[in-house]
A and B are shown apart, each in its own frame.
Chain A
Protein backbone atom coordinates (compact mmCIF):
# COMPACT_ATOMS: atom_id res chain seq x y z
CA UNK A 1 0.00 0.00 0.00
CA UNK A 2 1.26 3.43 -0.94
CA UNK A 3 0.96 6.59 1.14
CA UNK A 4 -1.25 9.33 -0.31
CA UNK A 5 -0.76 13.05 0.17
CA UNK A 6 -2.57 16.20 -0.90
CA UNK A 7 -0.38 18.46 -3.04
CA UNK A 8 -2.95 20.89 -4.35
CA UNK A 9 -6.20 22.47 -3.17
CA UNK A 10 -8.67 24.77 -4.84
CA UNK A 11 -12.11 26.11 -4.07
CA UNK A 12 -14.81 28.61 -4.73
CA UNK A 13 -17.66 28.98 -2.24
CA UNK A 14 -19.57 31.62 -0.31
CA UNK A 15 -16.54 32.32 1.90
CA UNK A 16 -14.08 33.00 -0.88
CA UNK A 17 -13.11 32.56 -4.48
CA UNK A 18 -9.95 30.61 -3.59
CA UNK A 19 -8.36 28.63 -0.76
CA UNK A 20 -6.54 31.51 1.02
CA UNK A 21 -9.75 33.60 1.18
CA UNK A 22 -11.75 30.61 2.40
CA UNK A 23 -9.22 29.60 5.06
CA UNK A 24 -9.02 33.20 6.28
CA UNK A 25 -12.81 33.39 6.55
CA UNK A 26 -12.93 30.10 8.47
CA UNK A 27 -10.20 31.33 10.79
CA UNK A 28 -12.12 34.53 11.43
CA UNK A 29 -15.47 32.78 11.78
CA UNK A 30 -17.02 34.85 9.03
CA UNK A 31 -20.50 34.04 7.75
CA UNK A 32 -21.02 33.72 3.99
CA UNK A 33 -24.77 33.17 4.26
CA UNK A 34 -26.81 36.04 2.81
CA UNK A 35 -29.99 36.88 0.96
CA UNK A 36 -30.28 34.74 -2.15
CA UNK A 37 -30.32 36.57 -5.46
CA UNK A 38 -31.88 34.90 -8.49
CA UNK A 39 -35.04 34.91 -10.59
CA UNK A 40 -38.31 34.29 -8.70
CA UNK A 41 -36.60 34.21 -5.28
CA UNK A 42 -39.62 36.10 -3.92
CA UNK A 43 -41.73 32.98 -4.50
CA UNK A 44 -39.62 31.01 -2.01
CA UNK A 45 -40.23 30.87 1.71
CA UNK A 46 -36.49 30.26 2.20
CA UNK A 47 -34.53 33.27 1.02
CA UNK A 48 -31.03 32.78 2.47
CA UNK A 49 -28.11 30.70 1.30
CA UNK A 50 -24.36 30.44 0.99
CA UNK A 51 -24.38 31.81 -2.54
CA UNK A 52 -21.18 32.59 -4.43
CA UNK A 53 -21.28 36.34 -5.06
CA UNK A 54 -19.22 38.45 -7.43
CA UNK A 55 -18.47 35.55 -9.73
CA UNK A 56 -18.96 36.48 -13.36
CA UNK A 57 -18.66 33.59 -15.77
CA UNK A 58 -18.67 36.02 -18.68
CA UNK A 59 -15.10 37.08 -19.27
CA UNK A 60 -13.66 33.95 -17.66
CA UNK A 61 -15.07 31.63 -20.27
CA UNK A 62 -15.64 32.28 -23.96
CA UNK A 63 -18.99 32.11 -25.70
CA UNK A 64 -18.53 28.53 -26.89
CA UNK A 65 -17.52 27.40 -23.40
CA UNK A 66 -20.48 29.18 -21.86
CA UNK A 67 -22.85 27.09 -23.95
CA UNK A 68 -21.31 23.95 -22.40
CA UNK A 69 -20.50 24.98 -18.82
CA UNK A 70 -23.29 24.89 -16.27
CA UNK A 71 -22.48 26.86 -13.11
CA UNK A 72 -21.40 23.65 -11.33
CA UNK A 73 -18.86 23.00 -14.11
CA UNK A 74 -17.68 26.62 -13.95
CA UNK A 75 -17.07 26.26 -10.21
CA UNK A 76 -15.20 23.00 -10.77
CA UNK A 77 -12.93 24.53 -13.41
CA UNK A 78 -12.07 27.46 -11.15
CA UNK A 79 -11.26 25.19 -8.20
CA UNK A 80 -9.33 22.66 -10.32
CA UNK A 81 -7.17 25.41 -11.80
CA UNK A 82 -6.13 26.55 -8.34
CA UNK A 83 -5.48 23.00 -7.12
CA UNK A 84 -3.52 21.80 -10.15
CA UNK A 85 -1.48 25.03 -10.32
CA UNK A 86 -0.57 24.62 -6.69
CA UNK A 87 0.45 21.00 -7.17
CA UNK A 88 2.78 21.98 -10.00
CA UNK A 89 1.90 18.77 -11.83
CA UNK A 90 1.86 18.73 -15.60
CA UNK A 91 -0.08 15.84 -16.99
CA UNK A 92 1.92 14.41 -19.89
CA UNK A 93 3.06 10.95 -20.96
CA UNK A 94 2.58 8.11 -18.49
CA UNK A 95 1.33 10.41 -15.73
CA UNK A 96 -1.42 11.73 -18.02
CA UNK A 97 -2.35 8.22 -19.12
CA UNK A 98 -2.82 6.99 -15.55
CA UNK A 99 -4.11 10.03 -13.65
CA UNK A 100 -7.84 10.66 -13.67
CA UNK A 101 -10.64 12.71 -12.14
CA UNK A 102 -13.25 11.54 -9.63
CA UNK A 103 -15.68 14.21 -8.46
CA UNK A 104 -18.87 14.28 -6.44
CA UNK A 105 -22.06 16.14 -7.21
CA UNK A 106 -25.61 15.50 -6.09
CA UNK A 107 -27.46 17.43 -8.76
CA UNK A 108 -25.09 18.22 -11.61
CA UNK A 109 -26.41 20.99 -13.85
CA UNK A 110 -29.49 21.87 -11.81
CA UNK A 111 -29.82 25.41 -13.13
CA UNK A 112 -29.60 24.12 -16.71
CA UNK A 113 -32.55 21.81 -15.99
CA UNK A 114 -34.32 24.71 -14.33
CA UNK A 115 -33.75 27.20 -17.15
CA UNK A 116 -34.78 24.78 -19.87
CA UNK A 117 -37.85 23.44 -18.10
CA UNK A 118 -38.87 27.04 -17.66
CA UNK A 119 -38.39 27.65 -21.38
CA UNK A 120 -40.49 24.68 -22.50
CA UNK A 121 -43.14 24.62 -19.77
CA UNK A 122 -43.54 28.21 -18.61
CA UNK A 123 -42.63 30.06 -21.78
CA UNK A 124 -44.11 27.41 -24.04
CA UNK A 125 -41.05 27.15 -26.29
CA UNK A 126 -40.67 24.02 -28.33
CA UNK A 127 -36.96 24.16 -28.93
CA UNK A 128 -33.97 24.06 -26.58
CA UNK A 129 -30.28 24.63 -27.17
CA UNK A 130 -28.51 21.60 -28.70
CA UNK A 131 -26.08 21.32 -25.76
CA UNK A 132 -28.58 21.07 -22.94
CA UNK A 133 -27.74 17.41 -22.30
CA UNK A 134 -23.92 17.72 -22.30
CA UNK A 135 -24.29 20.83 -20.12
CA UNK A 136 -26.48 19.35 -17.41
CA UNK A 137 -25.11 15.79 -17.17
CA UNK A 138 -23.60 15.07 -13.76
CA UNK A 139 -20.30 13.98 -15.32
CA UNK A 140 -19.90 17.21 -17.32
CA UNK A 141 -17.52 18.73 -14.77
CA UNK A 142 -15.34 15.60 -14.67
CA UNK A 143 -15.13 15.51 -18.45
CA UNK A 144 -14.19 19.17 -18.78
CA UNK A 145 -11.45 18.83 -16.15
CA UNK A 146 -10.18 15.74 -17.93
CA UNK A 147 -10.08 17.60 -21.27
CA UNK A 148 -8.62 20.80 -19.85
CA UNK A 149 -5.74 19.05 -18.06
CA UNK A 150 -5.18 16.00 -20.26
CA UNK A 151 -6.19 13.53 -17.54
CA UNK A 152 -6.72 10.22 -19.32
CA UNK A 153 -6.96 7.72 -16.46
CA UNK A 154 -10.05 6.50 -14.57
CA UNK A 155 -12.59 9.33 -14.47
CA UNK A 156 -16.19 9.42 -13.32
CA UNK A 157 -18.74 11.15 -11.14
CA UNK A 158 -19.99 9.91 -7.80
CA UNK A 159 -23.44 10.92 -6.66
CA UNK A 160 -24.44 10.13 -3.10
CA UNK A 161 -26.29 13.29 -2.12
CA UNK A 162 -24.54 15.05 0.77
CA UNK A 163 -21.71 12.49 0.91
CA UNK A 164 -20.85 12.68 -2.81
CA UNK A 165 -17.51 14.45 -2.36
CA UNK A 166 -16.37 12.21 0.47
CA UNK A 167 -17.24 9.10 -1.52
CA UNK A 168 -15.43 10.56 -4.54
CA UNK A 169 -12.31 11.45 -2.55
CA UNK A 170 -12.34 8.04 -0.86
CA UNK A 171 -12.38 6.42 -4.27
CA UNK A 172 -9.55 8.62 -5.58
CA UNK A 173 -7.56 7.89 -2.43
CA UNK A 174 -8.01 4.18 -2.92
CA UNK A 175 -6.81 4.43 -6.54
CA UNK A 176 -3.60 6.17 -5.51
CA UNK A 177 -3.08 3.95 -2.48
CA UNK A 178 -3.28 0.77 -4.52
CA UNK A 179 -0.95 2.11 -7.19
CA UNK A 180 -3.61 2.27 -9.89
CA UNK A 181 -2.87 5.96 -10.42
CA UNK A 182 0.14 8.07 -9.31
CA UNK A 183 -2.15 11.08 -8.86
CA UNK A 184 -5.87 11.85 -9.00
CA UNK A 185 -7.85 15.06 -9.20
CA UNK A 186 -10.80 14.79 -6.83
CA UNK A 187 -13.37 16.67 -4.76
CA UNK A 188 -16.80 17.88 -5.76
CA UNK A 189 -19.04 20.65 -6.98
CA UNK A 190 -22.63 21.76 -6.52
CA UNK A 191 -24.81 24.55 -7.74
CA UNK A 192 -28.48 24.20 -6.93
CA UNK A 193 -29.19 27.72 -5.73
CA UNK A 194 -31.83 28.47 -8.32
CA UNK A 195 -35.60 28.59 -8.00
CA UNK A 196 -36.25 24.88 -8.60
CA UNK A 197 -33.23 23.77 -6.58
CA UNK A 198 -34.27 25.64 -3.45
CA UNK A 199 -37.99 24.98 -3.93
CA UNK A 200 -37.34 21.23 -3.82
CA UNK A 201 -35.47 21.53 -0.51
CA UNK A 202 -38.12 23.83 0.89
CA UNK A 203 -40.62 20.99 0.55
CA UNK A 204 -38.83 18.91 3.16
CA UNK A 205 -39.38 21.58 5.80
CA UNK A 206 -35.94 21.17 7.27
CA UNK A 207 -34.57 24.51 6.12
CA UNK A 208 -33.84 27.45 8.37
CA UNK A 209 -35.18 30.86 7.45
CA UNK A 210 -32.57 32.75 9.44
CA UNK A 211 -29.27 30.92 10.07
CA UNK A 212 -27.45 27.61 10.24
CA UNK A 213 -26.66 27.01 13.92
CA UNK A 214 -25.23 23.49 14.22
CA UNK A 215 -25.30 21.89 17.70
CA UNK A 216 -27.02 24.92 19.22
CA UNK A 217 -30.20 24.07 21.15
CA UNK A 218 -32.09 26.69 19.14
CA UNK A 219 -30.97 25.38 15.75
CA UNK A 220 -33.81 25.27 13.27
CA UNK A 221 -32.50 23.70 10.13
CA UNK A 222 -30.03 23.68 7.34
CA UNK A 223 -29.04 26.41 4.90
CA UNK A 224 -27.95 25.53 1.38
CA UNK A 225 -24.66 26.62 -0.12
CA UNK A 226 -22.91 26.23 -3.46
CA UNK A 227 -19.41 25.97 -4.85
CA UNK A 228 -16.63 23.49 -5.39
CA UNK A 229 -13.59 22.02 -3.71
CA UNK A 230 -10.93 20.24 -5.78
CA UNK A 231 -7.73 18.52 -4.63
CA UNK A 232 -4.75 16.77 -6.08
CA UNK A 233 -4.15 13.45 -4.32
CA UNK A 234 -0.67 12.16 -5.08
CA UNK A 235 1.42 9.17 -4.16
CA UNK A 236 3.82 10.24 -1.39
CA UNK A 237 7.10 9.17 -3.03
CA UNK A 238 6.01 10.72 -6.32
CA UNK A 239 5.35 14.02 -4.55
CA UNK A 240 8.57 13.86 -2.55
CA UNK A 241 10.71 13.03 -5.56
CA UNK A 242 9.67 16.26 -7.23
CA UNK A 243 9.85 18.33 -4.06
CA UNK A 244 6.16 19.16 -4.02
CA UNK A 245 4.62 21.01 -1.11
CA UNK A 246 2.54 18.54 0.92
CA UNK A 247 -0.58 19.96 2.56
CA UNK A 248 -1.59 16.82 4.47
CA UNK A 249 -1.65 13.06 4.23
CA UNK A 250 -4.87 11.19 3.53
CA UNK A 251 -4.57 8.41 6.09
CA UNK A 252 -7.70 6.35 5.53
CA UNK A 253 -11.42 6.24 4.99
CA UNK A 254 -14.51 4.18 5.45
CA UNK A 255 -17.96 4.04 3.92
CA UNK A 256 -21.15 2.53 5.28
CA UNK A 257 -24.84 2.34 4.54
CA UNK A 258 -27.50 2.68 7.23
CA UNK A 259 -29.87 0.39 5.34
CA UNK A 260 -32.70 1.92 7.36
CA UNK A 261 -34.39 5.16 6.31
CA UNK A 262 -34.33 7.42 3.24
CA UNK A 263 -33.98 10.66 5.26
CA UNK A 264 -33.55 9.96 8.97
CA UNK A 265 -29.91 9.45 9.99
CA UNK A 266 -28.73 6.42 11.94
CA UNK A 267 -26.29 6.54 14.83
CA UNK A 268 -25.03 3.05 14.08
CA UNK A 269 -24.39 3.76 10.39
CA UNK A 270 -22.46 6.94 11.23
CA UNK A 271 -20.51 5.21 14.00
CA UNK A 272 -19.52 2.35 11.71
CA UNK A 273 -18.15 4.82 9.14
CA UNK A 274 -16.18 6.76 11.79
CA UNK A 275 -14.71 3.69 13.49
CA UNK A 276 -14.04 2.11 10.09
CA UNK A 277 -11.99 5.15 9.03
CA UNK A 278 -9.92 4.87 12.20
CA UNK A 279 -9.29 1.19 11.57
CA UNK A 280 -8.42 1.77 7.92
CA UNK A 281 -5.93 4.51 8.89
CA UNK A 282 -4.58 2.35 11.76
CA UNK A 283 -5.38 5.03 14.28
CA UNK A 284 -6.45 4.83 17.87
CA UNK A 285 -9.45 6.95 18.88
CA UNK A 286 -7.13 9.04 21.10
CA UNK A 287 -5.12 10.09 18.02
CA UNK A 288 -8.01 12.17 16.70
CA UNK A 289 -7.94 15.81 17.80
CA UNK A 290 -10.48 17.33 15.45
CA UNK A 291 -13.57 16.25 13.55
CA UNK A 292 -15.13 18.36 10.84
CA UNK A 293 -18.73 17.38 11.50
CA UNK A 294 -21.43 16.77 8.98
CA UNK A 295 -23.25 19.21 11.33
CA UNK A 296 -26.13 20.31 9.14
CA UNK A 297 -27.98 22.28 11.81
CA UNK A 298 -31.04 20.05 11.65
CA UNK A 299 -32.50 18.63 14.83
CA UNK A 300 -31.97 15.05 13.69
CA UNK A 301 -28.46 15.14 12.23
CA UNK A 302 -26.67 16.98 14.99
CA UNK A 303 -27.88 14.88 17.90
CA UNK A 304 -27.37 11.63 15.97
CA UNK A 305 -23.88 12.65 14.92
CA UNK A 306 -22.89 13.61 18.47
CA UNK A 307 -24.21 10.30 19.78
CA UNK A 308 -22.22 8.42 17.12
CA UNK A 309 -19.04 10.31 18.05
CA UNK A 310 -19.63 9.60 21.75
CA UNK A 311 -20.08 5.90 20.97
CA UNK A 312 -16.91 5.61 18.91
CA UNK A 313 -14.62 7.73 21.07
CA UNK A 314 -15.89 6.98 24.57
CA UNK A 315 -14.30 9.31 27.12
CA UNK A 316 -12.02 10.78 24.44
CA UNK A 317 -15.13 12.34 22.86
CA UNK A 318 -14.92 14.98 25.59
CA UNK A 319 -11.31 15.79 24.71
CA UNK A 320 -11.60 16.20 20.98
CA UNK A 321 -12.96 19.21 19.08
CA UNK A 322 -15.79 18.93 16.59
CA UNK A 323 -17.05 21.84 14.54
CA UNK A 324 -19.38 22.44 11.63
CA UNK A 325 -18.22 24.96 9.07
CA UNK A 326 -21.63 24.71 7.38
CA UNK A 327 -22.53 27.51 9.78
CA UNK A 328 -20.35 29.71 7.57
CA UNK A 329 -20.53 28.39 4.00
CA UNK A 330 -23.86 26.59 4.19
CA UNK A 331 -24.50 23.02 3.10
CA UNK A 332 -22.92 22.53 -0.31
CA UNK A 333 -24.75 19.19 -0.69
CA UNK A 334 -22.60 17.11 -3.07
CA UNK A 335 -19.63 19.48 -2.74
CA UNK A 336 -19.77 19.88 0.98
CA UNK A 337 -17.15 17.30 1.99
CA UNK A 338 -14.67 18.83 -0.44
CA UNK A 339 -14.96 22.36 0.92
CA UNK A 340 -14.98 21.03 4.48
CA UNK A 341 -11.76 19.11 3.86
CA UNK A 342 -10.13 22.56 3.79
CA UNK A 343 -11.00 22.96 7.47
CA UNK A 344 -9.26 19.63 8.15
CA UNK A 345 -6.20 20.74 6.17
CA UNK A 346 -6.16 24.01 8.15
CA UNK A 347 -6.33 21.98 11.37
CA UNK A 348 -3.44 19.60 10.65
CA UNK A 349 -1.25 22.02 8.67
CA UNK A 350 -1.81 25.34 10.43
CA UNK A 351 -3.00 24.16 13.83
CA UNK A 352 -6.15 26.27 13.58
CA UNK A 353 -9.59 24.83 14.31
CA UNK A 354 -12.45 26.43 12.40
CA UNK A 355 -15.34 27.37 14.69
CA UNK A 356 -19.04 26.51 14.63
CA UNK A 357 -20.45 30.01 14.31
CA UNK A 358 -23.97 31.07 15.23
CA UNK A 359 -23.77 28.93 18.36
CA UNK A 360 -26.11 30.38 20.97
CA UNK A 361 -27.50 27.78 23.35
CA UNK A 362 -26.10 24.61 24.88
CA UNK A 363 -27.91 21.43 23.85
CA UNK A 364 -27.46 18.46 26.22
CA UNK A 365 -27.89 16.16 23.22
CA UNK A 366 -24.86 17.77 21.56
CA UNK A 367 -22.62 17.96 24.62
CA UNK A 368 -19.25 17.97 22.84
CA UNK A 369 -16.64 20.68 22.36
CA UNK A 370 -18.12 22.22 19.22
CA UNK A 371 -15.59 25.11 19.14
CA UNK A 372 -18.34 27.72 19.46
CA UNK A 373 -18.05 30.96 17.51
CA UNK A 374 -14.28 31.50 17.63
CA UNK A 375 -11.44 29.64 15.98
CA UNK A 376 -8.92 28.02 18.26
CA UNK A 377 -5.25 27.15 18.01
CA UNK A 378 -4.31 23.55 18.71
CA UNK A 379 -1.73 21.04 17.61
CA UNK A 380 -3.63 18.52 15.52
CA UNK A 381 -2.06 15.31 14.23
CA UNK A 382 -5.21 13.71 12.92
CA UNK A 383 -8.52 15.15 11.72
CA UNK A 384 -11.62 13.38 10.45
CA UNK A 385 -14.20 14.67 7.99
CA UNK A 386 -17.72 13.27 8.32
CA UNK A 387 -20.38 13.11 5.63
CA UNK A 388 -23.72 11.40 6.16
CA UNK A 389 -26.09 11.55 3.20
CA UNK A 390 -29.79 11.28 2.69
CA UNK A 391 -30.39 7.68 1.78
CA UNK A 392 -28.19 6.64 4.71
CA UNK A 393 -24.91 6.60 2.79
CA UNK A 394 -21.93 7.60 4.88
CA UNK A 395 -18.27 8.34 4.12
CA UNK A 396 -15.58 9.48 6.55
CA UNK A 397 -12.02 10.52 5.64
CA UNK A 398 -9.01 10.72 7.96
CA UNK A 399 -6.24 13.30 7.40
CA UNK A 400 -2.85 13.24 9.10
CA UNK A 401 -0.25 15.94 9.56
CA UNK A 402 2.87 15.37 7.48
Chain B
Protein backbone atom coordinates (compact mmCIF):
# COMPACT_ATOMS: atom_id res chain seq x y z
CA UNK B 1 0.00 0.00 0.00
CA UNK B 2 1.43 3.37 -0.94
CA UNK B 3 1.58 6.38 1.37
CA UNK B 4 -1.50 7.99 -0.10
CA UNK B 5 -3.72 4.92 0.28
CA UNK B 6 -2.51 4.24 3.80
CA UNK B 7 -3.06 7.85 4.94
CA UNK B 8 -6.54 7.81 3.42
CA UNK B 9 -7.30 4.53 5.15
CA UNK B 10 -6.26 6.01 8.51
CA UNK B 11 -8.25 9.19 7.98
CA UNK B 12 -11.30 7.26 6.81
CA UNK B 13 -11.18 5.04 9.86
CA UNK B 14 -11.01 8.09 12.12
CA UNK B 15 -13.93 9.68 10.27
CA UNK B 16 -15.91 6.42 10.30
CA UNK B 17 -16.17 6.55 6.49
CA UNK B 18 -15.22 4.27 3.61
CA UNK B 19 -11.81 5.15 2.08
CA UNK B 20 -13.68 5.81 -1.16
CA UNK B 21 -15.54 8.68 0.56
CA UNK B 22 -12.26 10.48 1.30
CA UNK B 23 -10.95 12.55 -1.61
CA UNK B 24 -7.66 14.39 -1.93
CA UNK B 25 -9.56 17.68 -1.77
CA UNK B 26 -11.43 16.80 1.43
CA UNK B 27 -10.64 18.91 4.47
CA UNK B 28 -10.67 17.48 7.97
CA UNK B 29 -13.66 19.67 8.70
CA UNK B 30 -15.52 18.18 5.70
CA UNK B 31 -14.84 14.75 7.12
CA UNK B 32 -15.99 15.70 10.59
CA UNK B 33 -12.59 15.19 12.23
CA UNK B 34 -12.11 17.48 15.25
CA UNK B 35 -8.86 18.42 16.96
CA UNK B 36 -8.84 15.30 19.10
CA UNK B 37 -9.54 13.14 16.04
CA UNK B 38 -6.68 14.85 14.27
CA UNK B 39 -4.27 14.12 17.12
CA UNK B 40 -5.36 10.46 17.01
CA UNK B 41 -4.91 10.32 13.23
CA UNK B 42 -1.42 11.76 13.47
CA UNK B 43 -0.54 9.18 16.10
CA UNK B 44 -1.80 6.40 13.81
CA UNK B 45 0.18 7.84 10.88
CA UNK B 46 3.35 8.02 12.98
CA UNK B 47 2.89 4.41 14.02
CA UNK B 48 2.14 3.21 10.49
CA UNK B 49 5.15 4.87 8.87
CA UNK B 50 7.50 4.92 11.85
CA UNK B 51 8.00 8.64 11.55
CA UNK B 52 7.67 11.65 13.82
CA UNK B 53 5.22 14.36 12.69
CA UNK B 54 5.94 17.87 13.95
CA UNK B 55 2.48 18.91 15.07
CA UNK B 56 1.33 20.99 18.04
CA UNK B 57 -2.45 21.13 18.51
CA UNK B 58 -2.12 24.64 19.94
CA UNK B 59 -0.85 26.14 16.71
CA UNK B 60 -1.88 23.85 13.86
CA UNK B 61 -1.56 26.65 11.37
CA UNK B 62 2.00 27.40 12.47
CA UNK B 63 3.22 23.83 12.42
CA UNK B 64 5.56 22.85 9.60
CA UNK B 65 3.01 20.19 8.90
CA UNK B 66 0.14 21.40 6.66
CA UNK B 67 -3.26 19.90 7.45
CA UNK B 68 -5.43 22.10 5.23
CA UNK B 69 -6.57 19.16 3.08
CA UNK B 70 -6.00 15.43 2.62
CA UNK B 71 -3.70 16.24 -0.30
CA UNK B 72 -1.51 18.46 1.90
CA UNK B 73 -1.38 15.81 4.59
CA UNK B 74 -0.39 13.08 2.12
CA UNK B 75 2.31 15.27 0.60
CA UNK B 76 3.57 16.16 4.06
CA UNK B 77 3.76 12.52 5.08
CA UNK B 78 5.54 11.56 1.83
CA UNK B 79 8.12 14.23 2.54
CA UNK B 80 8.60 13.13 6.15
CA UNK B 81 8.89 9.47 5.15
CA UNK B 82 11.54 10.37 2.56
CA UNK B 83 13.46 12.51 5.05
CA UNK B 84 13.24 10.23 8.05
CA UNK B 85 13.90 7.01 6.20
CA UNK B 86 16.67 8.40 4.02
Contact = CB atoms under 8 A, between A and B. Distances in A.
B18 to A, nearest CB: 27
Contact of A220 (B35, B43, B58): B58
B56 A205 contact: yes
Given A263-B36, A264-B35, A205 B59 contact: no
B24 interface: no
Nearest to A261: B36
B39 A205 contact: yes
B39 A204 contact: yes
Interface in A191-240: 203-209, 219-221
A299 B36 contact: no
A47 to B, nearest CB: 15
B44 to A, nearest CB: 12
B49 interface: no
B42 interface: yes
B58 A299 contact: yes
Prevailing SS type, chain A contact patch = loop
A159 interface: no
A205 B36 contact: no
Contact of A205 (B34, B42, B62): B42
B56 A220 contact: yes
A219 B36 contact: no
A311 to B, nearest CB: 23
Contacts of B34: 264
Contacts of B35: 264, 300
B57 interface: yes
A165 interface: no
Interface string B38-59: 0100110000000010011111
Given A203-B43, A205-B42, A298 B58 contact: yes
Interface in A284-299: 298-299
Nearest to B60: A299
Nearest to B62: A220
Contacts of A220: 56, 58-59, 62
A221 B58 contact: yes
Nearest to B42: A205
Nearest to A221: B58
Contacts of A264: 34-36
A209 B39 CA distance: 17
A208 B43 contact: no
Which 6 pairs, one residue from A and one from B, show the smallest C-beta to C-beta distance?
A299-B58, A221-B58, A205-B57, A220-B58, A220-B59, A205-B39
Given A221-B56, A264-B34, 13 more contacts: A45-B52, A205-B39, A205-B42, A205-B56, A207-B56, A208-B56, A219-B58, A220-B56, A220-B58, A262-B36, A263-B36, A298-B58, A299-B59
Interface of B: 34-36, 39, 42-43, 52, 55-59, 62
25 contacts: A45-B52, A203-B43, A204-B39, A204-B57, A205-B39, A205-B42, A205-B56, A206-B56, A206-B57, A207-B56, A208-B56, A208-B58, A219-B58, A220-B56, A220-B58, A220-B62, A221-B56, A221-B57, A221-B58, A262-B36, A263-B36, A264-B35, A264-B36, A298-B58, A300-B35
